[in-house]
Amino acid sequence: MIMIIDIHNHSDWHRHNLNSVDTDEYGIDKAWQTNPVIKRYPGNPILSADDVPYRSDLVFNAGVTRYQGRYVMVFRNDYADSASKAVQGCNLGLAFSDDGIDWKVEKQPLFLDSGSYPLGMAYDPRLTVLDGRCYMCFATGMNHGVSGGIAATDDFKNWEILNISAPDNRNWVLFPERVNGKMIRLERPFAMYQRPGDRFDIWISASPDGRYWGDTELLLKTESVPWVNEKIGPATPPIRTPKGWLALFHGVDVDASRQGWGWSGNWRKRYSAGLMLLDQDNPYKVIGLSRGPVLVPEEDYRYEAEGYRDYVIFPGGMILEKDNSVKIYYGAADIVEALATADLNDLLTLCEPV
């Protein structure tokens, strides 16, 4: 495990504080707070490199679901050079749990190391159980761009890769049910030419079988999310609720005056999450949005404010329990995996009609 080093010079931070109205001593916007209906699990992080029985430095951005009577997690596992701290490679780890809180990591990663995996590397997985199979969406980095991918498994040993997109696209999430007979996915292409400044949006597509995708439409524009000044992207696979499909999406705000955050270097982005509600019968229609972000990286929360890339929360899994509570799994500061909980009705109340 790489030690977290304090590269922040807090007095410098104060001088280079954000352009926001009311900032704390580190220059962080005070109003930027997690909605009180969302509670962080006191035992966070729920998974870190210390829990992994193979080479591991950064454990984050996991997909989580329930399958065959257990909770299952596939997490992103990066490993770094111990002297330079430069990330050298990445694979996907597999963990199981009986309660969604205590996790046991399998002895081997899922896919081979980045060098030998045919697609370069697979990362940022999201899991969805659909029609009795477990599907995994992932990003895959190749020398010729970033693609989205979908693979399916019944046993977490054998994977059938159904679809790899043309670059650039990532942050795919699959709905847990077919809608009007079709599989539905949210995605985030990068429209580099027409959307300078990383103003990337959330799109939606449909498929009869997970292999062939079409009916692609723009679902949510960054312009519709006033609290971001950069990109948005799908975060958790949606869950069915009586009011519609509920999902978290991530949103990024950048302030050029911020000092570089985190030991990855020149990092000025902040990743937070908002809620969206999609029409039950027509998920191509956004019917609700949270007014602001509902889960944000907190300054006093060590794992979110001090990591590989500081001020990042990156949710990848949301599980609805029988008592109407919701478990939200999120990568924190690109270094650990954390858990927060909320009541479903409270989350629905935060979605204001659009």
Helix, coil or strand: residue 304: helix
Cα 179 to Cα 63, 66, 133, distances in angstroms? 22, 21, 17
Q: Which is nearer to ligand BMA, 294 or 344 (CB)?
A: 294
Classify residue 312 by its DSSP letter.
B
Would you say 51 and 60 are in contact if contact means Cβ atoms under 8 Å apart? no
Residues between 266 and 285 with contacts to ligand BMA, criterion CB under 6 A = 271
Q: Which is nearer to ligand BMA, 124 or 304 (CB)?
A: 124
Tokens of 341: 């909980």
Least separation in angstroms between residue 90's CB and ligand BMA is 10
For 30-69, letters b (16+ CB in 10 Å) and e give eebebbeebebbeebbbbbbebbeeebbbbbbbbbbbbee
Strand partners, 78: 58, 90
Least separation in angstroms between residue 339's CB and ligand BMA is 17
Q: Which is nearer to ligand BMA, 168 or 343 (CB)?
A: 168
By CB under 6 A, the count of residues binding ligand BMA is: 8
Q: Which is nearer to ligand BMA, 277 or 304 (CB)?
A: 304
Q: Does 331 bind ligand BMA (CB under 6 A)?
A: yes
Consecutive H or E run containing 302: helix 302-305
Print the binding letters for residues 107-146 with ligand BMA: x by CB under 6 A, - otherwise: -----------------x----------------------
Least separation in angstroms between residue 314's CB and ligand BMA is 4
Q: Does 309 bind ligand BMA (CB under 6 A)?
A: yes
3-state secondary structure labels for all residues of 114-169: CCCCCCCEEEEEEEEEECCEEEEEEEEEECCEEEEEEEEECCCCCCEEEEECCCCE
Least separation in angstroms between residue 60's CB and ligand BMA is 6
Q: Which is nearer to ligand BMA, 304 or 334 (CB)?
A: 334
Least separation in angstroms between residue 149's CB and ligand BMA is 14
Residues between 31 and 90 with contacts to ligand BMA, criterion CB under 6 A = 61
Least separation in angstroms between residue 252's CB and ligand BMA is 8
Q: Which is nearer to ligand BMA, 326 or 336 (CB)?
A: 336
Would you say 308 and 49 are in contact if contact means Cβ atoms under 8 Å apart? no
Q: Does 244 bind ligand BMA (CB under 6 A)?
A: no
Of 93, 334, 336, 339, the one binding ligand BMA by CB under 6 A: 334
Least separation in angstroms between residue 168's CB and ligand BMA is 11
Q: Regarding beta strands 87-97 and 70-80, do their DSSP bridges make them parallel or antiparallel, or are they unpaired?
A: antiparallel
Among residues 257, 239, 256, 254, the alpha carbon closest in space to that of 312 is found at 254
Cα 142 to Cα 117, 162, 169, 253, distances in angstroms? 10, 17, 12, 26
Q: Site residues (CB under 6 A) for ligand BMA?
A: 61, 124, 271, 309, 312, 314, 331, 334
